């Protein structure tokens, strides 16, 4: 989990910088080309899942979910961040819109991660 936590911390730092870049360096351009909502969606899902990974790390540390489950969930969510948010950021920055066909794969990964978290919690006999 230490490696996951370090990577997540780095991704959180990146997310702050990327968010500031979008808010201050790109906001006028994004508004002009009608892509601000796409950027905002990427930012929202990025932060929701980065913070959710921290919660999974804590749940692992206090014994609510097994290390193997927490690692798998974190890896799935990190991969989904790159797919989902990455394609949205790319589209907002002018990449071809066909990348939008890839975006739902990241969304499916998010869903799978949440279902795995529910399963991991159900398997824990200590949770009443």
pLDDT tens sequence across 79-106: 999 999 999 999 999 999 999 999 999 9
Residue 127 has a pLDDT of 79
Instruction: For residue 128, tell me if it sits in a domain.
Output: no
Instruction: For residue 71, tell me if it sits in a domain.
Output: yes
Instruction: For residue 92, tell me if it sits in a domain.
Output: yes
Instruction: For residue 86, tell me if it sits in a domain.
Output: yes
Whether the model pTM is above 0.85: yes
Instruction: For residue 108, tell me if it sits in a domain.
Output: yes
Instruction: For residue 61, tell me if it sits in a domain.
Output: yes
Instruction: For residue 102, tell me if it sits in a domain.
Output: yes
Residue 7 has a pLDDT of 97
Cα torsion angle, 33, 38, 40, 46, sign: negative
Residue 126 has a pLDDT of 84
Q: Is 66 left (phi over 0), alpha (psi -120 to 50) or beta?
A: beta
Nearest to 84 by CA among 66, 62, 111: 111
Residue 125 has a pLDDT of 85
Q: Distance between CA atoms of 75 and 22, rounded to whole angstroms?
A: 26
Instruction: Give me the number of domains the chain comprises.
Output: 1
Its domain, for residue 62, covers 2-123
Instruction: For residue 29, tell me if it sits in a domain.
Output: yes
Q: Which residues of the chain have pLDDT under 50?
A: none
Residue 53 has a pLDDT of 98
């Amino acid at each position: 989990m230490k490696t996951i936590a370090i990577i997540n911390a780095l991704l959180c730092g990146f997310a702050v910088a990327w968010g500031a870049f979008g808010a201050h360096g790109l906001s006028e351009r994004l508004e002009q080309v009608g892509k601000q909502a796409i950027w905002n969606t990427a930012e929202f899902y990025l932060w929701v899942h980065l913070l959710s990974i921290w919660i999974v790390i804590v749940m692992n540390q206090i014994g609510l979910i097994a290390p193997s489950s927490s690692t798998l969930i974190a890896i799935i969510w990190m991969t989904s961040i790159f797919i989902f948010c990455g394609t949205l950021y790319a589209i907002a920055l002018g990449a071809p819109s066909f990348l939008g066909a890839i975006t739902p794969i990241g969304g499916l990964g998010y869903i799978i991660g949440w279902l795995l978290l529910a399963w991991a919690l159900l398997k824990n006999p200590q949770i009443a």
